[in-house]
Each structure stands twice: as structure tokens, then as C-alpha cells.
Amino acid sequence: MGLDSFTPHAALELLLFYAIPQKDTNPIAHELLRKFGSVAGVFDAPLEELMKVNGIGESTAVFLKMIPQFCRLYQKSLERDKKRICSYDEAGKAFVKEFIGRQHESVMLMLLDSRGCILYCGKVSDGSATTANIYIKTIIRLASRFDAVYAILAHNHPSGSCMPSKQDLDTTRWIFDALGMVEVSLLDHIIVSGNDYLSMAQSKILPELFNPEEATGQE
């Protein structure tokens, strides 16, 4: 459920509904906003002042006071838990771990924000990277869902070298163009074989696609 289209009193009313079940929270929300001026004013109000509003008991007042604290905790958690990819080697080593134990070819996708922090990293397809028509919609959907700025594609060669085939190169161009349609830049396509990996961008393969100078902190 998104709150973007909600008015302040409607959003506050919805929040109060979960704190005060089986009660009409609309008048309470209006009174809170009238007394404290804004949603932020409600959350920042002293506990004792909140409890002076008809319908607000101690438990509800404590609940409202905890909202900013949980927002702060959420933001700190986001900043702490997001790993940042700062080089092609970091991306390559991260994908090597992702392919441990995979006996068959798989395609992986890593999505990054504007600072290079990982938003998503997971498998998008079982099978050869050359069957891009099977998973291209999945890649685009994930890139849009996570509001990604950059993407890194990877697939494995379980029983071969890391050198890309002509089909791998053609697939890379296709994915690059498809991501460009949703304004996401493909930074690299990494091929993994065992503990070895090859970065197309770092190896200057397809230089017309991968420009290190434009990558986010990659070198």
C-alpha cells in the first residue's frame, strides 16, 4: 500500500487504525493535526500532550512517539547493510561466490544505486546467457522495481574457460540496449568459471558499450 496519494489526515488515520482497532480514528487524526499542526508535529509532540487528545491513551501515544525512532533505525540499517561495489574486481569476486556449487549455467544480475550500493543481487535465469529472450523481461522488471541506476550481468561457464563466445557478446549488446530503454546503464558483463572470472569492461571487450570513465567509481 502506498501513502503518496494520501492526505496527511488520511495517512495518520490509517496509522491510528492499527493502534486503536475497532474505533473511528478519523476525528482523532483531525484533532491531532489541528493541535500539533502537521504529521511531524504529532510525532514530535511530548507524550503528555498527545495523551490530552481525546481517544489517545498511553499505548497509542507511545506508539506514535516510536515512529520517528523506527524511521531512524530503518535509515541506519539501509546505510549499514548496503554493500558498495567500487571496482570491477569487487564485482567479479562477489559473483564468484554467487556461483559456488552451481553445476549448470545460470545468469545473475546485480543492481546498483547511484553510489554503487547493491540494491539487488540474484539469479534471473537457469541456462545459457545466450537465451536472453527468456529472462530479458525479468531483468527489466527488476531494474524498474528497484529503481536501479546501474546493472552488472554475470553468467558462468561451469566446464569451460571464461572467454566470451560470439553469442555472449551479442547477448551483452542486447541486454545493454534493453536496459538503456529504462535508463539503466549496464556497467559490465562478468563470466565466471570456478574461481576465475573475466570482466568484459575491465578487459576492454566491447569498448563501444563499456566506458570505464563513465562507470560509478569502477576502475
What CATH number does the domain containing 72 carry? 1.10.150.20
Same domain, 101 and 207: yes
Binning the chain into helix, strand and coil, the percentages to the nearest 5 are 45, 15, 35
Question: Distance between CA 174 and CA 168 in Å, rounded?
Answer: 10
Domain count, the chain: 2
Residue where a domain terminates, one of 44, 62, 81: 81
Same domain, 74 and 117: no
Same domain, 12 and 115: no
Same domain, 124 and 36: no
Report pLDDT for 88. 92
Same domain, 164 and 202: yes
First to last CA, the chain: 40
Residue 2 domain-assigned (yes or no): no
Report pLDDT for 217. 46
Report pLDDT for 135. 82
pTM for the complete prediction? 0.64
CB contact set of 135 (below 8 Å; sequence gap of 6+): 107, 124, 125
Residue where a domain terminates, one of 81, 116, 140: 81
Q: Are 19 and 59 in contact (CB under 8 A)?
A: yes
Report pLDDT for 216. 44
Question: Distance between CA 152 and CA 33 in Å, rounded?
Answer: 46
Question: Distance between CA 212 and CA 113 in Å, rounded?
Answer: 17
Domain of 24 in residue numbering reads as 8-81
Same domain, 127 and 193: yes
3-state DSSP assignment of residue 4 = coil
Same domain, 114 and 164: yes
Chain centroid, CA 102 distance in Å: 24
CB contact set of 57 (below 8 Å; sequence gap of 6+): 51
* 12 half-sphere exposure, CB direction, 13 A CA radius: 24
Same domain, 158 and 58: no
Question: Distance between CA 67 and CA 7 in Å, rounded?
Answer: 18
Q: Are 164 and 198 in contact (CB under 8 A)?
A: yes
pLDDT along the chain (219 residues), means of 10: 83 88 91 94 94 94 91 72 85 90 86 93 79 80 95 90 90 94 96 93 92 51
Same domain, 18 and 49: yes
Question: Distance between CA 129 and CA 125 in Å, rounded?
Answer: 8
